[in-house]
């Protein structure tokens, strides 16, 4: 029987992997005062669920992701992951960045080992895990290459392997395929589908690409330009999504993408409407 996003959420007895309640993040504005980047956002994510965050540039997607990682604290509200309040970074949460951010003097293997080193994993064990993770992302045989000897897509694979190596409960991905050409991006999307279905990690994935959001996610969270949660859309495309090209060609895929696009256009229009204007 096919598994839907609703089945994923019902699969755990009421215990979410991620709980976000009334989260606000404010920064000092250059002209003085406070700028609210994220405004009163609340949602839950079930174990094993894949949620995509999308919205216009500047709507708070990456800020929300960094708060979930623990890189920046919330100004107010509650952030929980794995049943515990998020207070700083730990190995239960790992990030794949927009750029791979690899250490240029280290080989692919040594870059993947980095998080394991900070966990105190013995050398032989971390080498074994790092090789296994590189093979998992299709880089067996490239272990000793430095970042300048790798293509952009290969560097992103190393970044993904590095995140997977620490065996996180929550995998956070900040537009990891955004800087790649279309062919490489689609190949990595297909690989991520297979990895997610094999490893069952909980994933929060930031993207501007609406096709990517619909293809990958169980649900898509649309952020408004004001940093609020505008809508959470179910993607009722069954797992396993083993034929992405066929999925992309279906009317259901097109309808879901169009609904997200329409919602974003409406939000943009409402943001631009002058104060006091009527609908």
**Do 73 and 175 share a domain, yes or no?**
yes
What pLDDT is recorded for position 272?
Answer: 60
| pLDDT tens digits, 208-256 | 999 999 999 999 999 999 999 999 999 999 888 878 889 999 999 999 9
Note whether 117 and 232 are same-domain residues: no
- Same-domain pairing of 217 and 132: no
Quick one: CA dihedral 61, 65, 67, 71, positive or negative?
A: negative
If one counts the domains in the chain, the total is 2
Residue 14 domain-assigned? yes
Strand partners for 234: 219
For residues 132 and 229, membership in a common domain is answered with no
For residue 253, what pLDDT is reported? 95
Domain enclosing residue 58, as ranges:
5-92+168-272
261 and 134 assigned to the same domain: no
Q: Same domain, yes or no, for 182 and 230? A: yes
Same domain flag for 236 and 154: no
Residues of the chain with pLDDT under 50: 1-13, 273-279
Do residues 239 and 184 both lie within one domain? yes
* pLDDT at residue number 278: 37
What is the DSSP annotation of 185-253? Answer: HHHHHHHHHHHHHHH--EEEEE-S-HHHHHHH-SEEEEEPTTS-EEEEEE--PPBP---HHHHHTSHHH
Q: What is the token pair recorded at 163?
A: 């995140």
Q: Which domain CATH number covers 214? A: 3.40.50.300
């Amino acid at each position: 029987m096919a598994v839907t996003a609703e089945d994923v959420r019902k699969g755990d007895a009421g215990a979410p992997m991620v709980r976000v309640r009334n989260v606000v993040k404010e920064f000092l504005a250059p002209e003085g005062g406070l700028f609210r980047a994220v405004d009163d956002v609340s949602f839950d994510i079930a174990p094993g669920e894949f949620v995509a965050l999308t919205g216009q540039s500047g709507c708070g997607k990456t800020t929300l992701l960094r708060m979930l990682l623990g890189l920046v604290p919330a100004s107010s509200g509650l952030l929980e992951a794995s049943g515990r309040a998020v207070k700083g970074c730990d190995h239960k949460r790992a990030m794949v960045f927009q750029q791979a951010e690899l250490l240029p003097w280290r080989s692919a293997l040594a870059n993947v080992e980095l998080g394991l080193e900070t966990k105190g994993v013995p050398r032989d064990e971390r080498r074994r895990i790092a090789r296994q993770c590189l093979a998992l992302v299709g880089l067996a045989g490239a272990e000793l290459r430095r970042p300048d000897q790798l293509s952009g897509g290969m560097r992103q694979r190393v970044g993904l392997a590095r995140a997977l190596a620490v065996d996180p409960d929550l995998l956070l991905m900040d537009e990891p395929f955004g800087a790649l050409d279309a062919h490489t991006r689609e190949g990595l999307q297909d690989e991520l589908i297979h990895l997610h279905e094999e490893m069952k990690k909980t994933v929060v994935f930031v993207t501007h690409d609406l096709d990517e959001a619909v293809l990958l996610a169980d649900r898509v969270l649309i952020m408004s330009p004001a940093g609020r949660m505008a809508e959470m859309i179910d993607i009722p495309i069954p797992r396993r999504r083993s034929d992405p090209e066929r999925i992309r060609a279906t009317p259901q895929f097109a309808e879901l993408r169009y609904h997200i696009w329409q919602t974003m256009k409406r939000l943009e229009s409402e943001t631009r409407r002058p104060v006091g204007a009527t609908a």
